Amino acid sequence: MTPHRQTTPDWLKRLFAWGMAKANTADHSTIKLKGCSSYETMAQLKQALFADLDGRVLEIGPGAGVNLSYYPTNIQWIGIEPNPFMHSYLKQEAERLGLHNIKLRLGSAERLEVEDNSIDIVVSTHVLCSVTNLATTSREIRRVLKPDGRFLFIEHVAAQCGTWTRRIQDGIEPVWKTMFDNCHPNRETGKIIYRKCRF
């Protein structure tokens, strides 16, 4: 299948994949969460979200496989990743972890090649900032989830309007999205998910 978006040149996609694979070697227990009362670090948050998963898990934009080490080994994992240069890194990571029940596909979150009502859990970490169409993506996630399925996500979002953080996010957005494969630092992902998409 043809990936949904073709705007980033191959050399930049390759570089991004290499960078993501390098970033994956960071120790998540050293990444502190600010303003989160339940979990101190990214590792704790991911353990809490992912350690008990069961059944068919679909991860959109899994990148170089940063979340694989948190999953139980008995899940059926499907990854849909549009950057072909991520795939070899992800497969190496799965091999290292002894995960064999995985299916990695080239595709995009806006058009998931998965049957309706067939997935127990959809996972997205730092992906919704980059998808081309968030409304279409959310419809696709709802379509593939079983009625009692769950959508688990960790995403960065726009700061409040009028703050310095937001001004910086708005200012760097044109360059940032070009360099980092369509990542929008100022996307109001939280608001869009909760208000418009009604998960």
Ligand X SMILES: C[S@@+](CC[C@H](N)C(=O)[O-])C[C@H]1O[C@@H](n2cnc3c(N)ncnc32)[C@H](O)[C@@H]1O
Query: Minimum distance between the CB of residue 23 and ligand X, rounded to whole angstroms?
Result: 7
Is residue 49 close enough to count as binding ligand X by CB under 6 A?
A: no
Closer residue to ligand X, CB minimum distance, 53 or 127: 127
Strands (E), the chain: 56-60, 76-80, 102-105, 119-125, 145-154
| Binding status of residue 69 toward ligand X by CB under 6 A | no
Residues 6+ apart with CB under 8 A from 15: none
Phi, psi of 192 (to 5 degrees): -65, -45
Query: What is the distance of C-alpha 128 from the center of its chain?
Result: 7
28-36, 44-52, 88-96, 127-135 -> range binding ligand X (CB under 6 A)? 127-135
Binding residue count for ligand X, defined by CB under 6 A: 25
SS3 content of the chain, % helix, strand, coil (to 5): 40, 20, 45
> Which residue in 41, 69, 76, 132 binds ligand X (CB under 6 A)?
132
- 181 is an interface residue for ligand X by CB under 6 A: yes
Q: CB 93 → ligand X: shortest distance, Å?
A: 11
Q: How many helices (H) and strands (E) does the chain have?
A: 6, 5
Q: Does 126 bind ligand X (CB under 6 A)?
A: yes
Q: Report the C-alpha gap between 199 and 194 in whole angstroms.
A: 7
Q: Does residue 62 belong to the site contacting ligand X (CB under 6 A)?
A: yes
> Which structure tokens are listed for 131?
């998808």
Determine if 93 is a binding residue for ligand X (CB under 6 A). Answer: no
102, 127, 141, 158: residue in contact with ligand X (rule CB under 6 A) = 127
d(CA 25, CA 130): 22
Exactly one of 75, 86, 90, 134 binds ligand X (CB under 6 A); which one?
86
> Which of these segments, 69-77, 107-115, 138-146, 170-178, binds ligand X (CB under 6 A)?
107-115
Indicate the residue among 50 and 149 with the shorter CB distance to ligand X: 50
Distance CA 106, CA 90 (A): 12
**Is residue 66 at the binding interface for ligand X, with CB under 6 A as the rule?**
yes
